[in-house]
Structure 1
């Protein structure tokens, strides 16, 4: 259902008459060596002016709690953990007895109110009684309440961590349709699922442009390999044929060009295309197969998969010097690398004991660890725009589905993508066009 809301995202001091000094606000360093675990209690929704809580407000609370389940730095607390039960009589700080919350080690408490199509929500820091987030929304319908909950949680994450890429992003992935595969998009929470290509054949390996307005991919059909380019604004895709019989893993660079593996000399090398799709010299030429480029935000670093030393391994190209450095030494089959936006971490799939698992390597500390653990096979990792979350496809539930973890290997969560197999997720920023 199309969203029919107008959001009244008012400044905290104007909406609720309460202020917060940023320097005193609770914060969470999600990129630090040890993640802080913050306990948050979402109180039952209340009505406004003595009325009963609306179904809309209760639904909002349920969606918020579902969203919090995706944030490993937050632990959802429950009322039975609080001595005496619900310590609130209303929605504002003066209506809450914070002492039982403090004694129960609850760090944050959220109140929700609603009347008609209006919803208001607040999150307080229990030990200071300070308001961290306060929002009011009007003209919300049942079809739009999930989106409103996502927006609120994005603001909460932004206040706590300084980041909100998880909520402000779009996943593209490949799904089986009939006898082939087409590309679909959805939010990081699996909402607004839609099929975006109808090319026939097999559409695989999607990659977003930095601004989220275009998506490059590979189409494989009886006509051979073609590169597809989907325009988000025009809602149309176009296919382009290149010399040779291979055109795989097209990837946008931060400046909007495309790097793609083409077989111009009998084996795939990675070439950079200009704005007119003219082919340059290979970026990291070799006698062996080179595929799956991935860039950091500067565009100066590129990781890729190559068989130049035998089996497939991950390599790093410094585009300023042309130097190619081997990244993976463990395992004989390492594929599908994704480079973090800051260029420090690379995630990739490794074949281990008959199945693939996701590993991450710190290129600065020169350390590596496993972050997915099956069962089944875990493949096609992709960093989110903040470099914190990692999406991947997995057969752990039977068919292939999309899951999300963090670069620390937190418990993987299923992203709903509807019936049928889903694979090869690619993470990009959301835009106003979506």
Structure 2
């Protein structure tokens, strides 16, 4: 059943402080220096019979708490931190004694209730009693709880930070299937994992178009290297062969064209394909191998990996001037760059004495820092649509799985992708609901 047929969402406009202004609402600057933790307490879920009397409400509350655990600027508080236990008698502000919450240094409190298949959820500031988020969801069954919880948490993140790219996004990634690799998609929380290719061989290096409709990728089989393009609307892939032996690391530019490394002149250079999939001139020509293009949102900056000065290093092309600047100087093996949408930050994988690790470089401040710390190997970083979260593949828990951190290097969390190795995550915007 399609989502909109069983979720009816309405914003409950409830103000509990007369004359309160919108500017008084709590906000969190996730992009600013330093990350202060905001304490949030989820009160026991209620049903018609009181706390704990609705399995649906309890499931919803637990799922929201799991979602919140991916947001490093929020800290989940526990009921034993509150003097006297549950300070509420219902879901509304008038039903809550805020003083114990204030004494326990709780910044936000969430109430959840359900009656039949209707769920109500609210988040208040404890010091102002102000309602930050209030939502009602109708016709929710057990199979739909996770999606509703994700949408509620996305709204909470939007209210607090102005951004919600983590929840309003899709991951494409490669998984081992029948001795080869196929591509899969799913939400950033691991919901709705779906195999999207069945080409055989090895399908790797996915990249989303800006609008989230297409995924470009490389298919490697006994027919050689081919460019694959999967259409989300048609649920169909097409493959294209180019001259030469190499066609790897395709990437969508913001204007919808594809940049890809081709060996049509004997060695791999990065070319921008026209609307008929014909390559023009190399974007940053060199005698050496150049791969892994990544663009900022304007399309004027392109990061890429090249061996033009020896071992693989990261370079930045200014497409307006044609100037190429070397970005990485530390380490002998730096690969897989990903530019933030604003073009200021770059994440990439570096081979260190402890294995491959993910590093982040501030291109304005010319500062660099390591943001993952193993064990195992960490590779294939990808920025989320907001430029805050970074997904990557890691072997830290055995096999290879997908994890997420932030550009500040917060503790990494694994994204559920099911059985089997998963690698090469690529972040794109989520589709509109049908």
Counterparts of 2:50 and 2:31, CA distance in 1? 43
Counterparts of 1:260 and 1:83, CA distance in 2? 60
Match for residue 234 of structure 1?
A: 234
Match for residue 371 of structure 1?
A: 371
Counterparts of 1:263 and 1:250, CA distance in 2? 13
The 5 A counterparts of 1:5-404 are 6-13=6-13, 16=14, 18=16, 21-48=21-48, 53-353=53-353, 355-404=355-404
- Offset, 1:313: 0.2
- Offset, 1:21: 3.0
- Offset, 1:47: 1.6
Counterparts of 1:389 and 1:399, CA distance in 2? 23
C-alpha offsets along residues 331-378 of structure 1, whole Å, 9 cap, x if unaligned? 000000000000000000000015100000000000000000000000
Kindly indicate whether the alpha-carbon contact (under 8 Å) linking 1:5 and 1:140 is maintained by their aligned counterparts in 2: no
- SS class of match (1:153): helix
Change (3 A) 1:433 1:206: farther
- SS class of match (2:276): coil
- Offset, 1:2: 6.7
Match for residue 406 of structure 1?
A: 406
CA RMSD across the alignment = 1.4
- SS class of match (1:316): strand
- Offset, 1:18: 4.8
Kindly indicate whether the alpha-carbon contact (under 8 Å) linking 1:53 and 1:115 is maintained by their aligned counterparts in 2: no
Counterparts of 1:75 and 1:177, CA distance in 2? 38
- Offset, 1:266: 1.2
- Of the structure 1 ranges 351-360 and 209-218, higher mean CA displacement relative to structure 2 is found in 351-360
Kindly indicate whether the alpha-carbon contact (under 8 Å) linking 2:16 and 2:129 is maintained by their aligned counterparts in 1: no
Change (3 A) 1:50 1:389: closer
Counterparts of 2:216 and 2:283, CA distance in 1? 19
Change (3 A) 1:36 1:195: same
- SS class of match (2:122): strand
Counterparts of 2:105 and 2:351, CA distance in 1? 43
Kindly indicate whether the alpha-carbon contact (under 8 Å) linking 2:15 and 2:130 is maintained by their aligned counterparts in 1: no
Counterparts of 2:203 and 2:406, CA distance in 1? 27
Kindly indicate whether the alpha-carbon contact (under 8 Å) linking 1:232 and 1:433 is maintained by their aligned counterparts in 2: no
Change (3 A) 1:52 1:107: closer
- SS class of match (2:121): strand
Counterparts of 2:414 and 2:5, CA distance in 1? 28
Residues 1:429 and 2:429 aligned together:
yes
Q: Which runs of 5 or more structure 1 residues have no equivalent in the other structure? A: none
- Offset, 1:298: 0.3
Name the count of aligned residue pairs. 432
C-alpha offsets along residues 197-254 of structure 1, whole Å, 9 cap, x if unaligned? 0000000000000000000000000000000000000000000001111000000000
Match for residue 419 of structure 1?
A: 419
Counterparts of 2:122 and 2:16, CA distance in 1? 11
Counterparts of 2:53 and 2:265, CA distance in 1? 68
Kindly indicate whether the alpha-carbon contact (under 8 Å) linking 1:4 and 1:140 is maintained by their aligned counterparts in 2: no
Counterparts of 2:5 and 2:84, CA distance in 1? 37
- SS class of match (2:395): strand
Q: Which runs of 5 or more structure 2 residues have no equivalent in the other structure? A: none
In the superposition, the TM-score normalised over structure 2's length comes to: 0.97
Kindly indicate whether the alpha-carbon contact (under 8 Å) linking 2:339 and 2:347 is maintained by their aligned counterparts in 1: yes
In the superposition, the TM-score normalised over structure 1's length comes to: 0.97
